[in-house]
Structure 1
């Protein structure tokens, strides 16, 4: 397949790199420093037990998506609308757009902006950009994809490339479960600048996480969401399987960047207010991260 990755950060570079390593024609669309490095040296793909440079195309412009059969849409939730508008003139009519993003409403926003098929996707991967054009994989990597006309073909290609992939009719529930995991870990990791394994060892951390999770579950149930599996076990498993991982929110704050907290704990707080479900723990974490952001972001 010809594959375009819109938003070639850690998530986009990892999955784009895996597909390129398996022989697919991949173009990464990202920031100039990463694009320049990838054009010079290829994508540095650092996997557990393997370290290689993968030849891929790279561009800073959305026009590079032209002709792609599959688009991995990996921008921050804060940039969904603007990135969709940039892609729209260049997308092939039969392209499938996979939303590999945090939050639960990005696929809906993309469907409102694009005529092409859009499939929500749940991402479970620990990865970081270790330098320009250099993605480091810390663990996991599975995807859960919403059914579509091309989902089976895409899932088969991903599985062949070494990416565990499942097609699920309850992606909304899976997205909410991922949202709950993010709400439990992301803000606390950002505030403390601790990885998950050390975070859960701090006195009071797991009890606070239970409060956050209970609020999220109450909001999800009030919103008619069916949560798959054991949410509490899934929360515990994150620290066990990704002990060295810092949350994306922690990485954003460390770099002085705006985070996605409005689409994580902030989303739960807003949805809870609409549905009449109290969310004091989520609201407090959202506020604390916004306060930390205000120290590095210019006044609007």
Structure 2
């Protein structure tokens, strides 16, 4: 799998307009960064739209708390058409894409799926066509701690890849470069992959063990890593994910799980998104993170 690393000098800067569908931790953080960089960003909110319209969107990161007035909406039907739609919903909400996306789409708009899982891009492609769908893998530790308030804990890199229905390499597309230019201008590290499906499998090497075990054991990442039997179980599950990926035709190097473990050791203590969903009584991403990968492998 080829990886592409972009700098501002390489991609330039394009003034795209954005819609963020789902203003949770992920959508709130990335959308906020784009707003600070001067991009027009329209936020679709689930429950705190009125609060954000009145008080603004707040992000706390690196000890700095910043609030900005942003354009927040309760209904997609009220939103303007934009060049890029960032889908930041939980995958459990993707059945709503056919209803949510059309009002904000131009004939050439890109839809970027900033989600977990393996098969979610297909759901957007069913609405807009495969060539307009880009996948985004977010390596971000952030939590939404209250209405209109996101706390960024660590990381923030995005890996972009062109969706192809067959899971084959899609190369670097003009849309990926346009997106990268905006993210880099907003201070977000953006890299690219020529094979989105392999990149999704690689992220599942981390997501599958840590999300599930954090819920089963009620533990944050640092606690999971500190317990030798649990760490061993994480390693076993990671190897199982490698086997599933291989059965799906995608090779993940033997050294990859060790890299994931090292990255997690350096990570600040973190509650996984599935653990937060469990604690809050929200639907968990069981299909995206477990059923679909098992079926694919």
- Aligned length, in residue pairs: 271
**Separation in 1 of the partners of 2:192 and 2:296?**
27
Say whether 1:105 aligns with 2:133.
Answer: no
Say whether 1:187 aligns with 2:180.
Answer: no
Encode CA deviations 1:136-184: one digit per residue, 9 max, x unaligned.
Answer: 0010000111133322122011111110001221222111111121002
Aligned counterpart, 1:118: 133
Aligned counterpart, 2:275: 250
Residues 242 and 251, structure 2, Cα contact 8 Å, conserved in 1: no
Is 189-198 or 161-170 further displaced after alignment?
Answer: 189-198
The alpha-carbon deviation at position 95 of structure 1 amounts to 1.1
Q: What is the root-mean-square deviation in Å for CA atoms of aligned residues? A: 1.7
**Separation in 2 of the partners of 1:222 and 1:174?**
15
Q: Which one of 1, 4, 22 corresponds to residue 37 of structure 2? A: 22
**Separation in 1 of the partners of 2:98 and 2:225?**
37
Q: Secondary structure of the residue that 2:178 maps to in structure 1?
A: helix
The alpha-carbon deviation at position 229 of structure 1 amounts to 8.5
TM-score with structure 2 setting the length = 0.86
Q: Secondary structure of the residue that 1:28 maps to in structure 2?
A: strand
The alpha-carbon deviation at position 53 of structure 1 amounts to 0.3
**Separation in 1 of the partners of 2:21 and 2:94?**
10
Q: Secondary structure of the residue that 1:258 maps to in structure 2?
A: coil
Structure 2 counterparts to residues 128-143 of structure 1, below 5 A: 128-143=143-158
Name which structure has the greater RCO, CA cutoff 8 Å, separation 6+: 2
Aligned counterpart, 1:55: 69
The alpha-carbon deviation at position 81 of structure 1 amounts to 2.7
Encode CA deviations 1:90-112: one digit per residue, 9 max, x unaligned.
Answer: 41111111100000111122112
Gaps in structure 1 of 5+ consecutive residues:
273-300
Encode CA deviations 1:245-282: one digit per residue, 9 max, x unaligned.
Answer: 1111000000011100221123333334xxxxxxxxxx
Say whether 1:271 aligns with 2:286.
Answer: no
Are residues 271 and 172 of structure 1, via their aligned partners in 2, closer, same or farther at CA, if it must alter by over 3 Å? closer
